[in-house]
Amino acid sequence: NKTALWLHTLERMLGWDTLQRILSTYFTRYAFRHPAPENFFAGTTEGSGTVRVIPSGRHSVRDRTRGRRDASGALHLDQIVMEEGKPDRRRTWRLERAGGNRVTGTISDARGRVSGEIDGNTLHLSYRLEEGPSVEQWITLHRGGRSASNRMVFRRYGVRVATVETVLRRVD
């Protein structure tokens, strides 16, 4: 059977103690549930990609995010965004399930609440920045759960003024 062969191969490559620790951690974290997109952020992630501002052009963006869950299950993110040509900026997020697949929360540079929903392996968020633009954001987990695509669309008065496309990777 393929699963037994795969586990035996991992045991030979990593050793029994390491494999047992990995499987135990996985089971403890995901017992009786499927990993959800928001679980991707518990730990450290790094992202890199491109910002496209209309009409001024493209430039690079990177971020480093540290996430943790509190006792209520809410996700807290501390993020540093490094955008080419701008000073680094710090953002803090707090997201929580609001019943079913709905998500709500706050972001330090957003005006008002963040709202969203989870559909399969995609987390879709909507919010308005303090600077004015509204943001639609889609974070889609890739197969294996160690990376994700992040797409953001910024609009002013309903007109798209910028997009961000990044790939996010789990560091730990």
Q: Are 6 and 19 in contact (CB under 8 A)?
A: no
> Tens digit of pLDDT for each residue in 138-163?
999 998 888 999 999 999 999 999 99
Positions of E strands within 10-121: 43-53, 57-69, 75-83, 89-97, 102-107, 110-119
Cis peptide leading into residue 133 (ω within 30°) = no
Instruction: For residue 27, give the 3-state DSSP assignment.
Output: helix
Angle between helices 16-30 and 2-14 (to 10 degrees): 120
49-53, long-range: CB within 8 Å, 24+ apart, which pairs? 49/150, 49/164, 49/165, 49/166, 49/167, 50/164, 50/165, 50/166, 51/83, 51/84, 51/162, 51/163, 51/164, 52/162, 52/163, 52/164, 52/165, 53/161, 53/162
Q: How far apart are CA 73 and CA 38, in angstroms?
A: 11
Task: Write out the chain's pLDDT in tens, 172 residues.
Answer: 778 888 888 888 888 888 788 878 776 765 545 556 677 888 999 999 999 998 889 999 999 999 999 888 899 999 999 999 999 999 999 999 998 899 999 999 999 999 999 998 899 999 999 999 999 999 999 988 889 999 999 999 999 999 999 999 999 8
Angle at 172 between CA 67 and CA 103, to 5 degrees: 30
